[in-house]
Amino acid sequence: MSSGNVKKYKCRNPDCTVAETGRCLESHTDPGACPNCIICTDDDQDQDAIISSPVAGVAEKPARRFFSGFEIGLSEACELMSLKYTKLIGVIGASGVGKTCFLSSLYLMMSNGELCPDYFFAGSMTLPGFEDRARRVRKWSDGLLPGKLADHTSLQDNRAPAFLHLAIYCNKEFNKRHEFLFSDLPGEWTSDLIERNEKAGRFDFLKRADGLIYVLDGQALSDIELQNLEIHRAKLLLDRLANAVYVPKDIPFVVVISKYDLLKNCEPNSIHDIVSYANRLGFNPSVSLVSAFSSVPDVIKSGTGIEDVLERLMKFKNFETKKIVQRMHDFCRAYGRYLE
């Protein structure tokens, strides 16, 4: 077969990595649809000449770049943490349990002022990312996000964790402002960690986390045929978090039981087994029943449980300020080295 017939993408925009990654900087699903894209084959001789032509709609090099907006990579997370007192929250769970639903529901509540007057939206460096996730435009697929803006995030490993930023102003705490970075990871990462110890390195950032949300599928935990496997895998994951990832034991740890609207108002009994196991490992988890997007909104409102999780995360009573600051410094030092 002639290699000359293989379609390749190149881009006039020097910041776009479509040639290497196949993903368009401007998030076109089909990179060929982007006005800056050049479709070529190995036989093309004058690719460089084509690429040197002006980029459509780009008059000059930008004078200032802002945070990538869709998600924050490790380097930007370090930058943010060095500027502001920021709490890193790990959000973990298998595929389809509702991690993105949780984050989208939190955003939607903020967006519509449904957490006022206790909590106010105070800013976000990733507003486009929240919007796209709430629209299901931005989702993990085979462990990769679409169109990751590698030029802005400087991610060396495009499977590195992505974070969503949210600043919340808390009226209950004398107008205290909280800066959060929520991890947004593909569910496959959690499944891989359960199965292989060697995958723990991906979760290194959790060593410096200030809170952990473990999302479990409430419907599966209530299903007689599925619950035993769910409990079994949850325990394995807890083992990994304690003994391979070394998640700090003194941080707020919230077990989110998702899809509460489908549970007929009952907390799954199986959760107690998981919580007891976590306690034996030295964690101190609390349980929140969450219905991010309710199928029965007249009975259980969409967003039920979100505020509860937020409150649990904000209870940093076990924390001393210097401990949090030390964690932030550790994180920046560790990942600063990693990114060099």
Partner 1 sequence: MKANYVLFVGGPDSGKTNYIARLWIAIKDGNCRLSASTPPDDVAYLEQLADFLLRGCFSPRTQRDFFSKPIINVEYSYEQKTIAGSLYFPDCHGEEWKKIYKRREWSKQWEDIIPLVAGSLLFLRVGSDQIVAPLDWISCYSAFGILPSNLNGSSELEGEHPTQVLAVDWIQSLQKSFVDYHSGKLRVGIILSAWDLVPIDQRDVSPRIYLKDNFPLLYQYVISNQGSIDFQVFGLSIVGGDLKEDAECKKLFLSNPHGSGYVVLDNDNRIIKYPDVTIPIAWALGLKE
Residues that bind partner 1 (CB under 8 A): 26, 57, 59-69, 96, 98, 101, 104, 108, 110-113, 116, 120-125, 127-128, 131, 134-137, 149, 152, 167, 169, 177, 259, 262, 292-295, 297, 302-303
Kindly tell me which of 19 and 122 has the beta carbon lying closer to partner 1: 122
- How many Å apart are CA 92 and CA 224, to the nearest integer? 24
**Residue 65 or residue 329: which is nearer to partner 1 going by CB?**
65
Which helix (DSSP H) or strand (DSSP E) does residue 255 occupy? strand 253-258
The reply to whether omega before 62 is within 30° of 0 (cis) is no
**What's the rounded Cα separation, in Å, for the pair 89 and 206?**
8
Minimum distance of partner 1 from residue 46's CB (angstroms):
28
Tokens 């199965």 sit at which residue? 195
Name the residue nearer to partner 1 (CB basis): 108 or 200: 108
Task: In angstroms, give the least distance from the CB of 222 to partner 1.
Answer: 12
Contact indicator for 85, 324 with CB cutoff of 8 Å = yes
Contact (Cβ atoms closer than 8 angstroms) between residue 58 and residue 16: no
Q: Are 271 and 216 within 8 A, CB to CB? A: yes
Contact 179, 67 (CB under 8 A): no
Closer residue to partner 1 in complex, CB, 285/303? 303
Please report, for residues 91, 184, 213, 234, 321, the alpha-carbon distance to residue 220 in angstroms, rounded to integers and kept in the order given. Answer: 19, 22, 18, 12, 39
* Beta carbon nearer to partner 1, 121 or 203: 121
Question: Could you tell me the smallest distance in angstroms from the CB atom of residue 122 to partner 1?
Answer: 4
**Minimum CB distance to partner 1 smaller for 98 or for 285:** 98
- In the complex, least distance from residue 148 CB atom to partner 1, rounded to whole angstroms: 13
| Least separation in angstroms between CB 162 and partner 1 | 15
Q: Give the CB-side neighbour count of residue 118, counting CA atoms within 13 A.
A: 9
Query: Nearest distance from residue 97's CB to partner 1, in Å?
Result: 11
